[in-house]
Amino acid sequence: MSRPIVGVTGGFLKKNDFTGGPYAHQDYISSLFTAGAVPVILPTALDDVLEKYIEICDGFILSGGYDVDPKFYHADPSLHCGIFDTERDYFELKLFSRAMAVGKPILGICRGMQVINVALGGSLIQDIPTEVEHPLQHVQKEARGRASHKVRLLKNSRLAQLFHSEETIYVNSLHHQAIDRLADGLKAAAFSADGIIEAVEHVDEEQVMAVQWHPESMAVSGSPLMRILFANFTEKCQQYKKAASEI
């Protein structure tokens, strides 16, 4: 069977007045290629195109990017909230809901985990340094692909099982927002030492998982565990593709 197609949501990057367009970091693409998937960057789109994305792709990665507009979790922006792209938020919230409704695998990464939490009714910490007591350094000074702090995996989580029942792992960190109120449909799978939720899983739908760190960059840098994460996600997409072809 042919490789599964994975849609990777993209933001908009403006390089200068003459150059700009849909953007997702190359590490997402490289990690998916290595795992055996065909990655496709998905520009923000209207409903009719979104439905084509749902039709074409066997799974989705909700990628990193700007902050989520606080209005989607019924809050006003704090002084420390960063740039947000409301059109992308609308698009990704609906894409997540549609993809989950039809049972397609979804992996949320960094902002993507926050989008999933908001889509299911949760809220966000708008700025960790000013809202969390004794925070860790969540915007690391190390290179993107290098781990900077440890997280504790919950013993009974699917993520811990995937990572060979490890209790603690080291991850990279490039975010200043995080989950505040956890959505009812989610359960935490990992925490950092300052209490930040570092991974979540859907309570009922095994195809939905998300992490706060950037496994795509650690995978490219050689992390065996993060390569397992992408291989497992790609296998879920392959299984969906096979099941759909048999209908």
- pLDDT tens for 75-126 read 999 999 999 999 999 999 999 999 999 999 999 999 999 999 999 999 999 9
CA distance 198 to 152: 9
Class of residue 188 by CB neighbours under 10 A (exposed 0-12, middle 13-18, buried 19+): middle
The pLDDT value recorded for residue 164 is 93
Which residue range is the domain that position 128 belongs to? Answer: 5-245
Name the residue type at position 89. Answer: D
**Res 118: pLDDT:** 98
Query: Given 110, 138, 202, 237, which residue is catalytic?
Result: 110
Ramachandran angles phi, psi of 59, nearest 5°: -170, 170
Count structural domains, the chain. 1
What are the tokens at 129?
A: 């340094």
Residue 247 has pLDDT above 80, yes or no: no
- The two structure tokens encoding residue 73: 């979790």
Q: In the structure, what pLDDT confidence band is assigned to residue 14 with cuts at 50, 70 and 90?
A: confident
Pick from 20, 17, 71, 33: nearest CA to 219 = 33
Contacts of 185 (CB under 8 A, 6+ apart): 120, 121, 202, 203, 204
Mean of all residue pLDDT scores within the chain: 96
Residue 44's beta-bridge partner residues?
none
The answer on pLDDT for 1 being more than 70 is no
Determine the pLDDT at residue 246.
84
Is 90 exceeded by the pLDDT of residue 42? yes
Q: What is the CATH number of the domain that holds 112?
A: 3.40.50.880
pLDDT on residue 170 = 98
- pLDDT tens digits for 206-236? 999 999 999 999 999 999 999 999 999 999 9
Planar angle of CA 92, 24, 240, nearest 5 degrees: 60
Q: Which residues pair with 168 in a beta bridge?
A: 152
pLDDT score, position 64: 97
Active-site residue flag, 110 = yes
Confidence category of residue 162, pLDDT binned at 50, 70, 90: very high
Percent over 90 (pLDDT), the chain: 93
Question: Would you call 214 a catalytic residue per the annotation?
Answer: yes
Q: Which one from 92, 198, 201, 216 is the annotated catalytic residue?
A: 216
Q: Identify the band that residue 15 occupies on the pLDDT scale cut at 50, 70 and 90.
A: confident
**DSSP sequence for 81-129:** ---B-HHHHHHHHHHHHHHHHTT--EEEETHHHHHHHHHTT--EES-HH
d(CA 197, CA 192): 7
d(CA 194, CA 142): 19
